[in-house]
């Protein structure tokens, strides 16, 4: 469940709701002409700010090979546009922020701010390239092409690939090699107008725009990718690239997710992939035990929600997993932690050569 890239050619029945945008001018129906965009000049390899009206004029002008630019991620959260957009039904169902984060009325002592919605517009000229990157905290990414075509390069989040990626990010300014050549696998996925793409949590990906393109991009954390979310969270902390504005209390979300997953594990009526849920819970258990160990307790205790007893919750997860495994239990030494309430890059584009990409079968499922 949500563990492999998906290309969906027809969105009928997905529950995806998007605005009728078929040109750059349509964006002006939802955002003010004076709205500021951060664009990346591909040839000059530099960032600059422009108003939406200026960008529309540039975007609608004839192709200019000396002026190729892209707006990688225009944050539209909280705008008129975001109030229209709804991700596919299954993504909303498994979005941990929506399903696991406590409702305001349910817990008056819960003082942590809810993570922001992650919704963006991605727009660019033909020939634009966004280098390999990972969603914030390894979030799963969905892309809907409203205009144009893009090619997506996908690298699976194996330990080896994530290590190569981390080392590359540390010396990025000195390394212009194509990351797909460094990884142990790189898959090529060509997407067309009005097609939908899902990229699982933790996958490392890049985009090349085959034509002028406008896409909606969303990010979610889901329970089946939670181990990858945590792994990428730790990686981005080491790289000092973590966006604390979008996820100011990611560890709080992890604890809430653990509580939610435990309720699902113990629910006999849970209709979805319980095996996948159990495997995710096993990996999560290892992380939670590490966070509440004597060695690391002082680093994580303030991110434990006050209504959660960490040792009791981890033991409950062990019990549920053992029950589902019919006695194949994991022994966990109870750990007592006093919960303390607490306060709460873009990669430079290298020279791009499509010939460098390994010719491998794209691991996608196509729904017609």
Q: What is the pLDDT of residues 171-218, one digit of tens each?
A: 865 677 889 999 999 999 999 999 999 999 999 999 999 999 999 999
* Angstrom distance (rounded) from CA 129 to CA 70: 8
User: Residue 310: its pLDDT value, please?
Assistant: 92
Q: What is the pLDDT of residues 212-246, one digit of tens each?
A: 999 999 999 988 899 899 999 999 989 888 766 66
DSSP per position, 12-73: TTS--B-----SHHHHTTTS-TT-EEEEEETTTTEEEEEEHHHHHHHHHSPP-TT--EEEEE
Q: What is the pLDDT of residues 108-135, one digit of tens each?
A: 567 787 887 789 999 999 999 999 999 8
For the chain, give the longest Cα–Cα distance. Answer: 67
* Angstrom distance (rounded) from CA 152 to CA 169: 20
Mean pLDDT, the chain, whole residue set: 82
Cβ-in-10-Å burial (0-12, 13-18, 19+) of 112 comes to buried
pTM of the model: 0.83
For range 91-108, the mean pLDDT:
81
Q: What is the pLDDT of residues 40-88, one digit of tens each?
A: 888 878 888 999 999 999 888 887 666 788 898 899 988 888 889 999 9
Residue 368 pLDDT greater than 80, yes or no: no
Residue 346 pLDDT greater than 60, yes or no: no
């Amino acid at each position: 469940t949500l563990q492999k890239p998906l290309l969906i050619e027809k969105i009928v029945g997905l529950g995806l709701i998007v605005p009728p945008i078929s040109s750059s001018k349509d964006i002006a129906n939802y955002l003010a002409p004076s709205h500021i965009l951060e664009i990346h000049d591909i040839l000059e390899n530099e960032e600059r700010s422009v108003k939406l009206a200026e960008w529309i004029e540039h975007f609608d002008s004839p192709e200019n090979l000396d002026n190729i630019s892209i707006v990688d991620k225009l944050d539209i959260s909280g705008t008129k546009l975001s109030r229209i957009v709804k991700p596919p039904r299954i993504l909303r169902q498994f979005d941990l922020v929506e399903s696991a984060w406590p409702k305001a009325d349910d817990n008056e002592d819960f003082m942590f701010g809810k993570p922001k919605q992650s919704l963006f517009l991605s727009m660019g000229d033909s020939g634009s390239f966004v280098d390999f990157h990972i969603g914030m905290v390894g979030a799963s990414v969905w892309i809907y092409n409203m205009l144009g075509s893009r090619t997506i390069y996908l690298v699976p989040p194996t330990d080896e690939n994530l290590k190569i990626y981390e080392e590359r990010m540390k010396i990025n300014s000195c390394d212009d090699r194509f990351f797909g050549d460094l990884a142990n696998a790189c898959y090529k996925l060509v997407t067309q107008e009005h097609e939908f793409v899902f990229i699982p949590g933790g996958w490392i990906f890049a985009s090349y725009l085959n034509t002028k393109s406008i896409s909606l991009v969303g990010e979610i954390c889901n329970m089946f990718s939670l181990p990858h979310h945590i792994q990428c969270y730790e990686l981005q902390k080491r790289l000092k690239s973590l966006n604390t504005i979008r996820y100011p209390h990611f560890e709080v979300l992890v604890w809430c997710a653990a509580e939610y997953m435990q309720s699902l594990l113990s629910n006999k009526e849970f209709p979805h992939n319980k095996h996948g849920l159990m495997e995710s819970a096993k990996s999560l258990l290892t992380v939670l035990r590490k966070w509440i160990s004597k060695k690391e307790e002082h680093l994580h205790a303030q991110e434990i929600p006050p209504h959660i007893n960490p040792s009791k919750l981890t033991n409950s997860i062990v019990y549920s997993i053992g029950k589902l495994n019919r006695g194949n239990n994991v022994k966990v030494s109870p750990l007592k932690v006093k919960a303390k309430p607490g306060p709460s890059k873009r990669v430079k584009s290298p020279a791009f050569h499509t010939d460098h990409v390994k010719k491998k079968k794209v691991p996608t499922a196509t729904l017609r």
